[in-house]
Amino acid sequence: MNDRIQNEIIDEFSLIDEWLDKYDYLIELSDTLPAIDPEHRTDKYLINGCQSRVWVDARLEDGKVYYSADSDAIITKGIIALLIRVLNGRSPQEIIDTELYFVDAIGLSENLSPTRSNGLLAMIKQMRMYAMAFAATQN
């Protein structure tokens, strides 16, 4: 299931030749981000290691994890929207086990600044931490 979504993302990005246009597409994707609850836009939900401010929250519903997020940077919002698209609605174990190969396949890691790249890793780590915490409560 994850693979289908990751392959869709790879296909979408393969239709865009220039990296400036891919950034524009990431900016468009920022509008698809599920809105985070205003009370979750606090330091408690802030991700450390991101250059921009990024808040991520997660809830467990019927054994599946659902994320919401926000950022003060639109490209970062687009990136987190992609991560949520791949990971939302999965079991905690599926999220822990998912290899996010689309990140390299679309050239994201090599076209981000080092600080944005670190931020991307920090977002993925935080999303996995939520999944691990939910998995621990399920067992």
Q: Is 92 a catalytic residue?
A: no
CB 15 within 8 A of CB 111: no
CB-based contacts of 1, cutoff 8 Å, min separation 6: 90, 94
- 3-state SS, residue 76: helix
Query: What token pair was written down for 13?
Result: 């990005």
3-class SS of residue 1: coil
Catalytic residue (one of 5, 26, 33, 50): 50
Active site residue ranges = 50
